[in-house]
Structure 1
């Protein structure tokens, strides 16, 4: 029979092994996120997604980074964001805009810029026209799960309703899977009913277990947003959907 001393020693060894496993997993996830963030152009992995041509709309996509935005691009993204989001945010917009402007120029911010092109060159991306939208996303951690977090997907009103938003989100999901992320996560204002319907009905995103309405449904002050997610493996599903 093992002595008390031997039992304590075995427990200590087991605890050390568990800690080592946790640290090893954390290191692996950190390296995964670092590698994904370091990729200069995620569009190179998906050539067919560099172009979109449907319902009379022809666009080309290009990648970018938050800390390398030119002044005209920075102005465009901030203006479009305000046009689209000031209404859904309501009285919260003044403070929210300040936060978003800082987020948009962060070195961690990754972009997909959408440029309109003439129909005659729908299959080429040499003659990019004006920008008509963008996606701002990042590789990060949620509940210790590596995810792609979509901070913004903004399109001008004249190019909405043509399937472009769904096309861009499909691309984001492919980027997430290619880089071994466990899920795509995003935030939607409850007042933005069209966006909520787009994600939950058309794209089958679910309200995450980390969303305020599920974390604390009895809170005195109800939050104005929901956190949605689409998970790609059982671990991510358990942590982000079912907790």
Structure 2
């Protein structure tokens, strides 16, 4: 009987101990959940604040103009839901010219998604326009209904697009994006590149030192990644982002 009594007390103690652990575990989970929610809220606030900035270029005056390697252009900010009709048509055509090939058969479906994304309020733009020392500024104003630059892909626009290639302008623009991200307390810059776009992949990974993120399909699951035609690249600015994305 004595043995049973001691056993009973031992069982009671074990039950009480497990209950205490359960309560403690529940409390810890509650605290952890609160911390996660608070952190998410803080991140949402940072993103909201960054998205509300009307013109990020104001903080970087040296980046408002690019005069190197024989070209002279100026930069302007814009929003997807404020695009004039000619501008919208121009960038949609430009997107198709650049992306239809790399996307292949999937482009027909992807194009509809991209077109919606491009005119959303969350879409921010940096327009690159030829400076006035070569072509009158009146021809490049987004406010003008008679503008030819953003409205159609004509010979003049093709000349502008061709003459800016391999002039380090792309690198200049990406450096600007990274500066904007850092100033607005972002942990990283992320982008998607089609595997078929070998030149773009080499540009980002070799010249700009972006790496394939661990959230890219090929890193999450090599079998699934092999079926996908894109990679997600990233460049991180702090240890937390590095741990999550790299």
Taking structure 1 as the reference length, the TM-score comes to 0.81
Give 3-state SS (helix, strand or coil) of 1:79's partner: helix
In structure 2, which of residues 199, 215, 221 is the aligned counterpart of residue 216 of structure 1? 221
**Runs of 5+ in structure 2 lacking a partner?**
1-12, 142-148, 151-159
Q: What is residue 98 of structure 1 aligned with on the other side?
A: 112
- Map 1:105-184; keep pairs closer than 5 Å: 105-119=119-133, 127=137, 130=140, 156-184=161-189
Contact 1:116 1:128 survives alignment (8 Å): no
**Runs of 5+ in structure 1 lacking a partner?**
134-154
In structure 1, which of residues 8, 15, 25 is the aligned counterpart of residue 39 of structure 2? 25
Deviations 1:67-110 (A, max 9, x none): 11110110111111111112222222221211110110011111
Whose radius of gyration is greater, 1 or 2? 2
Contact 1:117 1:128 survives alignment (8 Å): no
Q: What is residue 200 of structure 1 aligned with on the other side?
A: 205
Q: What is residue 58 of structure 1 aligned with on the other side?
A: 72
Contact 1:80 1:156 survives alignment (8 Å): no
Taking only aligned residues, the RMSD between alpha carbons, in angstroms, comes to: 2.5
CA distance in 1 between counterparts of 2:22 and 2:234 reads 43
Q: What is residue 57 of structure 2 aligned with on the other side?
A: 43
| Cα separation, partners in 2 of 1:76 and 1:222, compared to 1, 3 Å | same
Contact 1:59 1:117 survives alignment (8 Å): yes
**1:235 is the counterpart of 2:233:** no
| 1:207 Cα deviation after fit | 0.6
Contact 2:219 2:225 survives alignment (8 Å): no
Deviations 1:135-159 (A, max 9, x none): xxxxxxxxxxxxxxxxxxxx92331
CA distance in 1 between counterparts of 2:178 and 2:139 reads 26
CA distance in 1 between counterparts of 2:205 and 2:226 reads 24
| 1:119 Cα deviation after fit | 3.7
Give 3-state SS (helix, strand or coil) of 2:224's partner: coil
Contact 2:189 2:234 survives alignment (8 Å): yes
Compare the two structures and name the one with the higher strand fraction.
1
Give 3-state SS (helix, strand or coil) of 2:128's partner: strand
Contact 1:115 1:128 survives alignment (8 Å): no
